[in-house]
Amino acid sequence: MKSNPVVGILGTNGSISRALPPIGRSLEMAGWNTGNLIYQFAAHNYVTSPKVTITLGSSNEFEKIRNSIDILHIPAANQLNPKFDLRSWAQLIEYMDKPLFIAGLGIQCDLSDEEIVLSEGTIAFINALKRYAPKIGVRGASTASVLKRYGVDTAVITGCPSNFLNPKVNGVSLAAQIAKAKASSSLRVDYFPGTMSHHLDIETKLRALVAKHDFRYVLQTNEHLFKYVDGVRDDPEMSHYINWEHMKLTPEISRKDYESIYAERTDYYFSAPGWLDSMLRRDLGIGMRMHGVVASIQGGAAGACVVADGRIQELVNTMGYPSLSLDDARNASSLNELLGAVSFDPIQFDEKRRNLANSYRGIARESGVPINVGIV
């Protein structure tokens, strides 16, 4: 393998030009969730040799890319979902025919890891990983267990690559930030709206708690809401969705007041660096979206994730991030009280982060990818 190989990275470099119309196209490039940009930015930054990004479904010249790269790198996410079919990913791996570096692969399902049955296309993807990747970096033990059932004995737990973005973050400083936020009567809070598919009572409660502070919503998904924040007001489907959400969450306030929150207090980011930079001006990021919380913490603010499903639980367990249960949210009468229930072990956080960084370095080394991760 070359000492300075060219690495083809599946995804973006962490930023997407908003000169691209329409908003749906940008969301599609981000995998329909801008949280993906956080770990794609991380993966892109760590690679120290020449690199090129590869976007599935775009007008990439795949033959030219195949002839110009030495290694294929996949900064993975929750691709192991029974509803997904990753045959196109398997075909890309086979077509590129290069050594493969993959990390961050996780399950996404309401079922337990013993119950998950993956599609034939996704099994083809796993088989391609087995052929081309010396080791497969996964988000946690549950994902490793699922892969084991499909014949993978090379899984290594790495958590998410975004965990290593800011070497200055440590357990003691993070615990101090959470304690400071708990004691503050006026917080600059980022709230990450959920998917609305589960736990509407928790969504309502969390929005009510943050509303008593200097809050903003930071969107990660939902094309209807992105359109509204962009100033679109004449889209019937968008209007129907917002009306549904309004009536589900806060029917006691007017539609006008409900919409004003999205119009006046909502942001989104198609730039991971811009998102991370914004957290220097915030105190706390909270919600049921793991990568919003990761962006908050890696950007220098406090963060706490409300564990709403197994994929979040897996990452929280693996990386030792500050967390809250659904019952913690239900029972809290204020945001400060909720922060008092945060589960976090600063010593364990540092230890896990060091170990995960070493595992990530090890997989990269075996795959032939030169990286620089600042965690020691």
List all residues 6 or more positions away from 163 whose beta carbon is below 8 Å from its beta carbon.
294, 298, 319, 353, 356, 357
Closest CA to 44 of 362, 274, 369: 369
Over residues 367-375, mean pLDDT: 95
Is the model's pLDDT at 353 over the cut of 90?
Answer: yes
- Give alpha helix (H) positions in 20-170: 23-29, 36-46, 62-68, 87-96, 120-132, 141-149
Q: State the pTM of this model.
A: 0.94
Under 8 Å between Cβ of 40 and 12: yes
Give the per-residue pLDDT at 116: 80
Is the model's pLDDT at 1 over the cut of 90?
Answer: no
Residue 180 Rama label (left phi>0; alpha psi -120 to 50; beta): alpha
For residues 161 and 39, what is the distance between their CA atoms, to the nearest angstrom? 6
Give the amino acid at 375.
I
| Class of CATH domain 171-345 | alpha beta
Under 8 Å between Cβ of 95 and 61: no
| Class of CATH domain 7-164+353-367 | alpha beta
Over residues 190-217, mean pLDDT: 94
Alpha carbons within 13 A on the beta-carbon side of 2: 12
Greater confidence (195 vs 298) lies with: 298
List all residues 6 or more positions away from 365 whose beta carbon is below 8 Å from its beta carbon.
none
Give the per-residue pLDDT at 270: 96
The domain ranges of the chain are: 7-164+353-367, 171-345
Is the model's pLDDT at 6 over the cut of 80?
Answer: yes
Burial of 114 (C-beta count, 10 Å sphere; 0-12/13-18/19+): exposed
Give the per-residue pLDDT at 3: 78
Closest CA to 171 of 8, 304, 337, 346: 346
Bridge partners of residue 307, in order along the sequence: none
Token pair 């990452």: residue: 315
Model confidence at 63, pLDDT cuts 50, 70, 90, reads confident
Torsion, Cα 303 305 311 317, to 10 degrees, reads 70
Is the model's pLDDT at 115 over the cut of 80?
Answer: no
One fold for 7-164+353-367 and 171-345: yes
The token duo for 86 is 């990753």
Over residues 120-128, mean pLDDT: 97
Over residues 118-141, mean pLDDT: 97
Over residues 246-254, mean pLDDT: 95
Give the per-residue pLDDT at 58: 58
* Residue 65 CA: distances (Å) to CA of 7, 53, 71, 131, 154: 10, 9, 11, 20, 27
For residues 299 and 273, what is the distance between their CA atoms, to the nearest angstrom? 9
Name the least confident of 111-120, 242-251, 256-265: 111-120
